[in-house]
Amino acid sequence: MAAKRIVIDPVTRIEGHLRIEIEVQDGKVKEAFSSGTMVRGLEIILKGRDPRDAWAFAERTCGVCTTVHALASVRSVEDALGIVIPPNAELVRNLMFCAQYMQDHVVHFYHLHALDWVDIVSALKADPAKTAEIARSISNWPKSSPNYFSDVQKRIAAFVQSGQLGIFANGYWGHPAMKLPAEVNLLAVAHYIEALDWQKEIVKVHTIFGGKNPHPNYLVGGAPCSINLDEANAINAERLAYVGKLIEDARTFVEQVYIPDLLAIASFYKDWGAIGGGLTNYMAYGDLPTHGFGDPSKFKFPRGVILGRDLGKVYPVDGHDPRQIQESIPHSWYQYSDGDAAARHPWDGETKFNYTGPKPPYDQLNVDGKYSWLKTPRWNGHPMEVGPLARLLVGYASGRQDIKDVVDMVLKKLDVPVAALFSTLGRTAARGIETLLVAGWAKEFYGDLLANIKNGDTRMVNNEKWEPATWPAKARGVGLTEAPRGALAHWIVIENQKIANYQLVVPSTWNASPRDAKGQLSAYESSLVGTPIADPERPLEVLRTIHSFDPCLACAVHLYDEQGRTLNRITVG
Ligand code: NFE
Ligand code: MG
């Protein structure tokens, strides 16, 4: 049978604009192409500015991972100027990081990914009493009565009968790859609604330490809040107690709702533990320092690279080494002054547009030429998957007991082997597993912050290098972090107190980028090859795997093209 080209553009339930083209032959994906269809240019906006202000611009890269670009930015400046921040500031950054993870991962699971597995319409057929029984058998979460689920069912029925399905309008309801019993569908939909309400609570941690959410404040040299237990406008005893409660409530939700739902849903989709693996290399920069950012060996999420799925060895990663991390553009709508075959370390990175693609409306991308607004990053020439799975695998392979314990617990509960982690299911499970870890770590960081304050340490900033006159004429730095979607770094070059160059290489750039000059596929493209497609008119399986990465194209192509684009179109040709 001849291969069929299927275009999904835009892929919805993600941040930003992603186009996936696949060729399907004999019921399987034979070729896959991933294209970022928006371009932004934050690197250009940042040139010439004061490095101390960069975080406020960079943070606007994304409203989903709303804190991480500010963190990467202030760290890049601190690295360039040799600034070490006080322990309290590190703890406040860690607490904001943990709050971000819990909110982002829960929202991803319920609102961006669950409907690939959960059939909302089927929930109408559920027996609420049986749903209550299932709910009580997997969790102590109090909202579990037959009446509660019956009310939820009535709400969905009213919604469906109104004929205005809104965000649910284009779901693949009744698709043959949907496997959950009606009762589990109802349980998941109930928690979809609860999670919407819950997620606005945990981000209050950002408003307390950073003034607002999204896009809380950051500060080069520390954190933008003062500790004074007796001052109404400072981080006082009442504010601290509130943070403690938010962390505790978040942990309860993660433990009693997210994780039990993840396990219950995953148990019906274990075949996805053998689908969507793709690349065999994983990279994490690591984060959540416990002894300062200068000592990655004491990070909660360790740093490293795994090659060929070999969990027996972890390779070191160095953002300063000009040979390790490089970006190339053979298939990206950019140009380099030394030619499109070049690969550049981000300190020498360039952002110059060169759109050579077809003019919309067009049927398909010219995949032999340039076909994306994402550049293609590589570590020592290798494509890398980044994200929750990469973090857990690097942690597992580094022998971190706390990480191993939770991973093994989930594998045991699902009754699947370690190899099942290298998959779509593994990616989605990894996100839940790390949320559970982060929920526990947040409590530790909170305790450490209270202990420091009790011991009389209220310092929040190191302002020794605030005066630009104290800076060298030239300085370069890198700010590494782990955004929810994976390894994130900003590279900065400072000359005469101003930004001479600024480059962001973000998680979705690693995962969603086009092929490199050698033809090596990046993570999305690679993960789709071989995926079974039951119905080419409704390629649900593609969405499952792509959504398992939690795409963010807003981050990845740091202005839309001026031409309009057809929305919600799936073409089969
Ligand atoms: Ni906009 Fe982001 C995260 C970053 S991109 S979501 O997480 O950085 O992958
Ligand atoms: Mg970039």
Domain coordinates of the chain in residue numbers? 1-44+279-407+506-573
Among 38, 64, 69, residue to substitute to test ligand 1 (most atoms within 8 Å of Cβ): 64
From residue 168, give the alpha-carbon distance in Å to each of 159, 175, 496.
10, 14, 53
Bridge partners (DSSP) listed for residue 478: 491
User: Are 290 and 98 a contacting pair, CB within 8 Å?
Assistant: no
d(CA 162, CA 152): 16
Quote the distance between the C-alpha of residue 277 and its chain's center. Answer: 17
pLDDT in the model for residue 560: 35
Residues 6+ apart with CB under 8 A from 70: 55, 56, 58, 59, 215, 216, 217, 218
Q: Is there a catalytic annotation at residue 552?
A: yes
Atom of ligand 1 nearest to the CA of 556: 5
Closest by alpha carbon to 432, among 413, 449, 451? 413
Between the CA of 65 and the centroid of ligand 1 the distance, in Å, is: 5
Between the CA of 377 and the centroid of ligand 2 the distance, in Å, is: 9
**18 in contact with ligand 1, CB cutoff 6 A:** no
**555 in contact with ligand 1, CB cutoff 6 A:** yes
- What's the pLDDT tens digit per position in 120-130? 989 999 999 99
Among 65, 285, 481, residue to substitute to test ligand 1 (most atoms within 8 Å of Cβ): 65
Residues 6+ apart with CB under 8 A from 252: none
What type of residue is 501? N
d(CA 467, CA 516): 42
- What's the pLDDT tens digit per position in 67-78? 999 999 999 999
pLDDT in the model for residue 572: 42
Three-state SS sequence of 50-98: CHHHHHHHHHHHCCCCCCHHHHHHHHHHHHHHCCCCCHHHHHHHHHHHH
Closest by alpha carbon to 134, among 261, 324, 248, 244? 261
pLDDT in the model for residue 222: 98
Atom of ligand 1 nearest to the CA of 551: 9
- What's the pLDDT tens digit per position in 490-528? 999 999 999 999 999 999 999 999 999 999 999 999 999
Find the catalytic residue in 13, 19, 40, 65.
65
- CATH number listed for the domain at residues 1-44+279-407+506-573: 1.10.645.10
pLDDT in the model for residue 561: 35
Closest by alpha carbon to 39, among 566, 564, 560? 560
d(CA 44, CA 48): 9
Segments of 399-443 assigned E as strands: none
195 token code pair? 């999670």
pLDDT in the model for residue 27: 95
Closest by alpha carbon to 427, among 377, 484, 476, 375? 484
Between the CA of 341 and the centroid of ligand 1 the distance, in Å, is: 27
Between the CA of 550 and the centroid of ligand 2 the distance, in Å, is: 18
Atom of ligand 1 nearest to the CA of 68: 8
Residues of the chain below pLDDT 50 = 559-573
Query: DSSP string of 265-286?
Result: HHTT-GGGGGS----S-EEE--
Among 62, 107, 504, 513, residue to substitute to test ligand 1 (most atoms within 8 Å of Cβ): 62
User: Are 75 and 509 a contacting pair, CB within 8 Å?
Assistant: no
Query: Measured over all CA atoms, what is the biggest interatomic distance in the chain, rounded to whole angstroms?
Result: 75
d(CA 201, CA 179): 32
φ and ψ at residue 544, rounded to 5 degrees: -55, -50
pLDDT in the model for residue 361: 81
pTM of the model: 0.95
Atom of ligand 1 nearest to the CA of 507: 9
Quote the distance between the C-alpha of residue 330 and its chain's center. Answer: 26
φ and ψ at residue 571, rounded to 5 degrees: -105, 140
3-state helix, strand, coil in the chain (%, to 5): 45, 15, 40
Question: 323, exposed or middle or buried, with CB in 10 Å at 0-12, 13-18, 19+?
Answer: exposed
Q: Give the ligand at the shortest distance from the Cα of 71.
A: 1
Q: Is there a catalytic annotation at residue 225?
A: no
Closest by alpha carbon to 59, among 69, 50, 74? 69
pLDDT in the model for residue 109: 98
**64 in contact with ligand 1, CB cutoff 6 A:** yes
413 SS3 class: helix
